[in-house]
Amino acid sequence: MDSVDPRRTATAAKSAETRRLVVEDGAADRLDRYLARRLGFSRSRCADLILAQRVRVDSDLAKKSVSVSEGQVIEVEIPPPEPLDAEPEDIPLDVVFEDEAFLVLNKAAGLVVHPAPGHRSGTLVNALLHHVQDLSGIGGKLRPGIVHRLDRYTSGLMLVAKGDDAHVALSDSIRKREVRRIYRAVSWGHLPETPVTVDAPVGRDPKDRMKMAVVEGGRRAVTRLRVRESWEAAEYLEKAARGLPQRARIHYNLGLLLQLLGRDSEAEKELLAALRIEPDNIDFLYAAADHYLKRGRLGEAKRMAETMIEKHPSNRLGQDLLGFINNRIQE
């Protein structure tokens, strides 16, 4: 009789959870958006739950497009996460910090993060399945808390969430660039100048789909490097903290200044330039919404407020702003 690892089956055997929500005052919204904000799930995950007939509004099966209003009662059946197709393995981990919510580990060079063709075992995921007692189930699948990745031959610190709440919070912080990541490397030879900026499109290598390369039509990638130490035949490099986020902040600050000077059209161009670089930044979204609101462009202001709610469901700022805009529209 085959033996089964209790850590794996205990999580997979969890029963479905039913959440009961009462729509609060001023929280009227489309059902999928409301659920995403209250449950901390993605809108696509909430839409899947609705399509699977796991959501009821006032005891009736709901449709994704329905809107909910104050006082309505929503019941959501959240199925247990699907088992992960990976086995726990007792692989030593270099854990530098750990508490009940997350851990920080030092990934060794050569260690693959996720199982993939050619690497079905011996990965970081296999090690975490053995180490972590209760896995994150974000997205409906068991995942041992991976919120960001490092390439196989890159060593360095990684954050790992141990539960759903930590997974949502860490992913949100990384998306909003509240977590600063620094990359360092040693290269042969010397740069002609420092810092140096590499601005090139990156995509799958057409000759080797397992690798990334600079390719025409790829996604724009901007990297700024500076020399930390210069040695006789090599240099110790660091990916500079300044780059696109800082450029976005420059556009944002310039836009606010131009608003004060009454140069509205120029201010709008700068605020939208900041959003093109960081489309999820809540400060940039709020500034654009406020810009439109003050100029009576309520439809565009509402769109910005709705984006704030979608991208930052746990932040009340977007909801309060949307309520104010809706009141203006109804006047």
pLDDT, averaged per 10 consecutive residues of the chain (331 residues), comes to 39 68 82 84 82 91 85 89 76 91 91 79 88 66 74 89 80 74 88 80 80 79 83 87 61 85 88 85 89 90 90 85 88 77
Return the structure tokens found at 10: 């205990």
The answer to whether residues 112 and 11 belong to one domain is yes
Q: Nearest Cα to 315, choosing from 64, 40, 65?
A: 40
Using DSSP bridges, classify how beta strands 29-30 and 55-57 pair: parallel, antiparallel or unpaired. unpaired
* The pLDDT value given to residue 12: 42
The answer to whether residues 94 and 7 belong to one domain is yes
Using DSSP bridges, classify how beta strands 196-205 and 184-188 pair: parallel, antiparallel or unpaired. unpaired
Residue 48 sits in a domain whose CATH number is 3.10.290.10
Residue 276 sits in a domain whose CATH number is 1.25.40.10
Q: Nearest Cα to 144, choosing from 38, 55, 22, 11?
A: 11
The answer to whether residues 86 and 167 belong to one domain is yes
The answer to whether residues 216 and 276 belong to one domain is no
- CA-to-CA separations, 263 to 8, 252, 253, 294, in angstroms, rounded: 60, 14, 14, 13
User: Rounded to an integer, what distance in angstroms lies between the CA atom of residue 38 and that of residue 78?
Assistant: 13
Q: Is 151 a catalytic residue?
A: yes
Treating both helix axes as pointing N-terminal to C-terminal, what angle do 298-311 and 31-39 enclose, rounded to 10 degrees?
A: 40
* The pLDDT value given to residue 242: 46
The answer to whether residues 287 and 297 belong to one domain is yes
* The pLDDT value given to residue 90: 92
In 40-99, alpha helices (H):
43-51
State the DSSP code for 119.
B
Return the structure tokens found at 162: 């141990």
Domain count across the chain: 4
The answer to whether residues 2 and 126 belong to one domain is yes
Treating both helix axes as pointing N-terminal to C-terminal, what angle do 282-294 and 298-311 enclose, rounded to 10 degrees?
A: 160
The model's pTM is 0.53
Q: What are phi and psi of 90, to 5 degrees?
A: -80, 75
The answer to whether residues 35 and 162 belong to one domain is no
Neighbouring C-beta atoms of residue 289, cutoff 10 Å: 27
Residue 144 sits in a domain whose CATH number is 3.30.2350.10
User: Rounded to an integer, what distance in angstroms lies between the CA atom of residue 304 and that of residue 279?
Assistant: 10
**Which residues, in sequence order, are bridge partners of residue 203?**
213
Helices then strands, each counted (H, E), the chain? 10, 14
Return the structure tokens found at 265: 């059209």
User: Rounded to an integer, what distance in angstroms lies between the CA atom of residue 318 and that of residue 290?
Assistant: 11
Catalytic residue among 151, 165, 264, 320: 151
User: Rounded to an integer, what distance in angstroms lies between the CA atom of residue 91 and that of residue 84?
Assistant: 18
The answer to whether residues 170 and 314 belong to one domain is no
Q: What are the residues whose beta carbons fall under 8 Å from the beta carbon of 278, sequence distance 6 or more?
A: 177, 244, 245, 248, 284
Q: Nearest Cα to 247, choosing from 266, 224, 217?
A: 224
The answer to whether residues 159 and 146 belong to one domain is yes
Treating both helix axes as pointing N-terminal to C-terminal, what angle do 264-277 and 244-260 enclose, rounded to 10 degrees?
A: 160
Contact 321, 286 (CB under 8 A): yes
The answer to whether residues 103 and 176 belong to one domain is yes
The answer to whether residues 8 and 135 belong to one domain is yes
The answer to whether residues 66 and 25 belong to one domain is yes
Give me the domain span that covers residue 202: 185-239
